[in-house]
Amino acid sequence: MADLSGTFLGRYKLIALLGKGGMAEVYRAHDASLDREVAVKVIRLGKEVEEEFLKRFEREAKALAKLLHPNIVPIHDYGEANGVPYLVMDYLPGGTLKDALNVMVDGQPAKVPPMPYQKAARLLAPIARALAYAHQQGIIHRDIKPANILLTKSGQPMLSDFGIAKMLEGEEATQLTSTGAGIGTPDYMAPEQWTGKVDGRADIYALGVVFYELITGQRPFKADTPAAVFLKHLNEPPPPPQQYIPDLPAVVAQVIGRALEKKPEDRYQNMGEFASALESLAVSGQHTVLAAPAQDAAQARKTQAALAGVGLLVVGVLVVCALLGMGALILRPAFLFPAAKTPSLPAQTTAETLPAAVQTPQADTPAAVIPTPPAVSVDACAERMPPLPANNGNAETDRRDASSGQGSINTRFTTSLAVEEVSAYYKSALESGGWEWWSSNTRSDGSIDLSYVIKNMKCMVHIYISPGYGKGTEVNIGLNTVR
């Protein structure tokens, strides 16, 4: 597809090409109606597959439009103009995590030094919470990697590229997304993902690889071909992260090891568990790693044999496709959402070149595993929350496993107060109530998200405040404990 800069798609004028991928191009654009900058992803289609991809595009666009989370890049609009489908979302000039980790020095690529583990955990914990939310909506990302984690100007992480997300809504969704094995990026793919049959634990594995990469400066498995990378993911244990960072606390290696278990049933069983582990490391550097679920020996042998059989099958298919000149089509599928490219960071290859929001000093932590005291009940955390501001009497509360002391309490309501007024209220009320600021972000659409913690109680609250467009200001509060 030719560069569309200078042309219009509906009311959006495409200004400059930011990046391109297998089947999409990303443009910085101007929304003529609202007079603001946005990012537009233009889907490139071949005539022979146009109908299939248009169906997938429409379904995935609707799925994305349902996602409302402070750390997910929101979809504002989607449509089709002159046979070209497109998605409209926030324009984030901060670039991607991949850009932040790879800089240019004298025209040559150079990597930023490994990130302290507490800083890496602080950066990825919001992404884990965003994925936990998406999983609750029945959406699996399936392509977690640094290129799909965008950064705001303040350095807050935002998850993008749900283009190959699979809706878990029956046979129709399966048919629309069943493009075969190998959907994802080989360096970050869980072993079972090559079969095309995955659940949210595949995203846990991929985010574990990103965590490993951030704190060691290395991906766990490297090889000359994607097929060889897959076999390593399938059969080889990852090198201990202490091989690269000798003084890394053992508890951090245990968290990584649990996320990178070969068999899904041995990993964290949901993204919320992994998010809690990351939050604990970020806040205190301590976390108790629960034992993986026990598995019957016969069943374990059966699972391993099945995965090995899949490995031989996938490798065989890759060899045949390579001979036919089709290997790239299978191994690098046409993603709907390539990551935007931004100018390289300054040449200094130090940790200080990363966004200020993730620059937190690393505390000295003993290398031994230190049991973490049980978290205070989430209800005790709720007692420290200020009362709701003036609202429209439509507050809804959703309790998830709160009776056990863990879990979360989510509250939603609308108010006639402006976004800034709600934000000022919570900042003042929380800080005067002993809560400590964790992060905040103001988006281009006027929405604001806030995060606060009480470290000694291991309480964390996320507040997302957004314009209601005629329905009053919308407020979403997520309260949880970190273990």
Active site amino acids: 143
Say how far apart CA 120 and CA 117 lie, in whole Å. Answer: 5
Q: Which bin fits 434, alpha (ψ -120 to 50), beta or left (φ > 0)?
A: left
Decide: 464 and 398 in contact? Cβ < 8 Å.
no
**All residues at 6 or more sequence positions from 444 whose CB lies less than 8 Å from its CB, including other chains:** 36, 37, 38, 90, 91
Decide: 280 and 117 in contact? Cβ < 8 Å.
no
Distances 245 to 175, 239, 251 between C-alpha atoms, Å: 45, 11, 13
**273 membership: H or E segment, kind and range:** helix 271-283
At residue 481, what are phi and psi to the nearest 5 degrees? Answer: -105, 150
Token pair for 195: 């079969």
Say how far apart CA 1 and CA 87 lie, in whole Å. Answer: 17
Token pair for 479: 């309260």
Kindly tell me the number of DSSP H helices and DSSP E strands found in the chain: 12, 18
Token pair for 265: 């049933």
Chain centroid to CA 146: how far?
Answer: 9
At residue 116, what are phi and psi to the nearest 5 degrees? Answer: -55, 140
Say how far apart CA 447 and CA 435 lie, in whole Å. Answer: 22
Alpha carbons within 13 angstroms on the beta-carbon side of residue 246 total: 0
Q: Give me the DSSP letters along 86-124.
A: EEEEE--TT-BHHHHHEEEETTEEEEPPPPPHHHHHHHH
Say how far apart CA 207 and CA 230 lie, in whole Å. Answer: 17
**All residues at 6 or more sequence positions from 51 whose CB lies less than 8 Å from its CB, including other chains:** none
Say how far apart CA 325 and CA 320 lie, in whole Å. Answer: 9
